[in-house]
Structure 1
């Protein structure tokens, strides 16, 4: 009956088997409450058996204690008790005490320190940059600060990391799990890449996993392999003991290696000299003195950087989740990361909603064009009725290499253009009529792939 219930639950979740990995979880299929109820039903028989077994063991211990056993027996019993639960001063929610195979731990120590020291050193540099930010978030959520090392082995704290399974960012969230924990993922913003926002989501996920499984070993296994795969292993093995599940080979090999891998990364990071690695302290960066500020309105990073007197390059580094320069709000909310000294100034920023509807690209006698994705000097020259040679001469270019966002000066005889910010109800036909041009010209000059435009989007309008 129990098996039928679990199978039915998994069918409702859209799974062909009794587990769904972290890479496949779809947030629209199950709520947090439903997840807990299903998991509770799945492991309750195991809990009952374990409780019965514990009660029997206590009865046996009581009988032995009351019997006239020798001193050796009494001493042996006291030793057994000393190997029982940790002291009451240990808080499993705020300390990451892990039990794992010494052999696998040694394997990872040797791998990181001897086979791949350069890569591990690079990870240490990145990790040191974000350590204070991530550990503060975990501390605020009453979680072990050493969960920092999960992000360390997941991505090396590369905000742009992307796996073959489309897991993205320092915590390697897939889209479904990211949305389930409050992150925004769309064509304009991918908050999985933002260290501040994604770490808060990771804290929520870790908290739920610990509440479900009751041990950090199993919580980390579930983070790696998915909640349902670990539940399936628990049911098959009739145990929630991590080392017993490993012994029975009921969890994937990669997941068996995962817990000692986290422990080994922590050991080397904390004691680099012991393993012939140099202690790493990354130069003080803008990340360590940054904070999250809710703007609440659409933001153009170019305008915000000018408002804050912070370089555009720094603003892009602080906000890798904003995929282009412009980001609109969703449900009236939009948060950006700014230097701590600029938080008050950032809160006064009105966003990009209030910009002038039309403004000239030209500044004085010069006309500018910002390079867009897919542009080349040939396509730009064609758009503005000039030549590649004239474009290079106007911008002092010796090669044909250009990059997205680059500001190019247009030669004096090129076609002039204006900027228009799309409003509610606009379409390309209406805009073309308004400025006495053609839809084709607008599409061409803006490198649009189709006729889709959105409110707040900046369009170049060809003139003349």
Structure 2
């Protein structure tokens, strides 16, 4: 049972720690905000605007490279000790022009700066306020993994420092991991828990992923683009464009607009976040850093009952443990290290350590007729494995009429409340359309009918679907699909595609 007060991280999270502190020196008085604590400019007296080659030499034979523009780094293993000088932005009168990731001032970056200074100003202020809670923690983990502190602005761009942020692509958490990538980097994701929402574990996973991407590309701009779009899409864009320069790639059609905007968005956030006074963000009320204690509790612990005994609001437990999705600890865990408000660990040790808080207050469902766990699970939109574990019954085994099935909802809970919102989410329309399309293809392939020697072709028009083409040409849908599998199996049809119809 250990208390971890992260308040001290505010003071530890300076732009360069001891390993890099000798790179450059600064006489500027430090700002009190968490974002600016990470952004203390590593420059000589700002009034003199000393050139990079005139900077103080590093001590302890430490190699230092101060770069002006550009994203290429010749020695990737030392990338956490690089400094980039932002040039060409004199009109902004910045108090800090130094970064530890590449930052440029061009039209795409100007567009995002303009957005966050005008229409999106409130969003930036909200993100910055949340940053007070998470920036010290994230920066320390990035540093421990040998990565630049300024990558916190990637997290800011991804989620606005919101642990429960969820995208239409099912990306979740501060670092917006999709399920597959999250699992690859060691995050547990199931019905009970989603470690993408854990600020510590997700940042460790993001550090591993970002380090891998940087090692692959040797370039932070391309690495960030790959973080957003995926390595496959970026590799294809590089191969087809015959360039690995991010800004040249943005001029081609191989990267989606979201990815083309992603890197300049990060740079704009970094410029703003490290120059709050320059842009008039002096009145941001930063949230206090995370401060909590930890206790070890057994699997299947009822969090509601435990909170009542500790005399804390259960919402505080959920707030400190955003990765926990339900009202009890996953039953397959022997023990779980639970974060609790400071002081609650003392209460737990004095009154509750030996008490049994095993969850028992489950709702029950009486089957109206003979059925199976699979059918009940589908009715309540629950994974069959969850009901199997709670009831000790195989998902396919027949259950008699009027038999009680234990459900994973707590007594008195509405199964449509926020805790179970994920059970009732509907995919976006294009996701449903793609799923329907794939189902169509699968059914057609099972039929086996196709045109042996096509002689007549149809050019796909805007708004066409396979079903519409089938109706227009009189060709049965399954025959149409099977005769054009090379065109329709990998992706949905597009305007201009040639489809065999006779």
Task: Report the TM-score when normalising by structure 1.
Answer: 0.55
SS at structure 2 position matched to 1:325: coil
Q: Take 1:227 and 1:294, find their aligned partners in 2: how far apart are those partners?
A: 39
Equivalent residue number for residue 305 of structure 1 = 307
Unaligned stretches of 5+ residues in structure 2: 1-66, 83-99, 364-388, 416-502
Number of aligned residue pairs = 303
Check the 8 A contact 2:225/2:262 in 1, yes or no: yes
What's the CA shift string for 1:58-110, capped at 9, x where partnerless? xxxxxxxxxxxxxxxxxxxxxxx999977989942355321546111111111
Quick check: 1:114 aligned with 2:118? yes
What's the CA shift string for 1:2-51, capped at 9, x where partnerless? xxxxxxxxxxxxxxxxxxxxxxxxxxxxxxxxxxxxxxxxxxxxxxxxxx
Quick check: 1:323 aligned with 2:310? no
Give the counterpart of 1:92 among 79, 88, 104.
79
SS at structure 2 position matched to 1:129: helix
Quick check: 1:238 aligned with 2:242? yes
Give the counterpart of 2:262 among 258, 263, 277.
258
Equivalent residue number for residue 129 of structure 1 = 133
Quick check: 1:188 aligned with 2:192? yes
Equivalent residue number for residue 46 of structure 1 = none
Give the counterpart of 1:156 among 155, 160, 184.
160
Between 259-268 and 333-342, report the one with greater CA deviation.
Answer: 333-342
Q: Take 2:348 and 2:200, find their aligned partners in 1: how far apart are those partners?
A: 17
Task: Report the TM-score when normalising by structure 2.
Answer: 0.51
Q: Take 1:248 and 1:356, find their aligned partners in 2: how far apart are those partners?
A: 58
Check the 8 A contact 2:130/2:162 in 1, yes or no: yes
Check the 8 A contact 2:76/2:215 in 1, yes or no: no
Q: Take 1:281 and 1:357, find their aligned partners in 2: how far apart are those partners?
A: 40
Q: Take 1:350 and 1:137, find their aligned partners in 2: how far apart are those partners?
A: 33
- 1:2-17 mapped onto 2 (5 Å cutoff): none
Quick check: 1:203 aligned with 2:169? no
| RMSD of equivalent CA atoms | 4.4
The 1:237/1:341 distance shift into structure 2, 3 A limit, reads: farther
Equivalent residue number for residue 169 of structure 1 = 173
Check the 8 A contact 1:293/1:336 in 2, yes or no: yes
SS at structure 2 position matched to 1:336: strand
Quick check: 1:215 aligned with 2:215? no
Q: Take 1:357 and 1:194, find their aligned partners in 2: how far apart are those partners?
A: 23
The 1:252/1:315 distance shift into structure 2, 3 A limit, reads: same
What's the CA shift string for 1:159-193, capped at 9, x where partnerless? 22211111122211111111111112111112222
Q: Take 1:207 and 1:89, find their aligned partners in 2: how far apart are those partners?
A: 10
The 1:187/1:94 distance shift into structure 2, 3 A limit, reads: farther
Equivalent residue number for residue 224 of structure 1 = 228
- 1:24-423 mapped onto 2 (5 Å cutoff): 91-93=78-80, 95=82, 96-100=100-104, 102-284=106-288, 288-290=290-292, 295=297, 297-306=299-308, 308-330=310-332, 332=334, 334-339=336-341, 354-355=356-357
The 1:356/1:257 distance shift into structure 2, 3 A limit, reads: closer
What's the CA shift string for 1:308-353, capped at 9, x where partnerless? 5543221111112212211215464634333466568779999999
Superposed displacement of residue 279, structure 1: 3.8
Check the 8 A contact 1:304/1:351 in 2, yes or no: no
Check the 8 A contact 2:101/2:150 in 1, yes or no: no
Superposed displacement of residue 268, structure 1: 1.2
Q: Take 1:201 and 1:341, find their aligned partners in 2: how far apart are those partners?
A: 30
Check the 8 A contact 1:239/1:245 in 2, yes or no: yes
The 1:442/1:213 distance shift into structure 2, 3 A limit, reads: closer
Check the 8 A contact 1:125/1:281 in 2, yes or no: yes
Q: Normalized per residue, which structure has more helix?
A: 1
Q: Take 2:316 and 2:68, find their aligned partners in 1: how far apart are those partners?
A: 54
The 1:177/1:271 distance shift into structure 2, 3 A limit, reads: same
SS at structure 1 position matched to 2:209: helix
Check the 8 A contact 1:113/1:277 in 2, yes or no: no
Q: Take 2:192 and 2:234, find their aligned partners in 1: how far apart are those partners?
A: 35
Check the 8 A contact 1:206/1:219 in 2, yes or no: yes
Superposed displacement of residue 197, structure 1: 2.1
Unaligned stretches of 5+ residues in structure 1: 1-80, 362-369, 373-421, 450-464
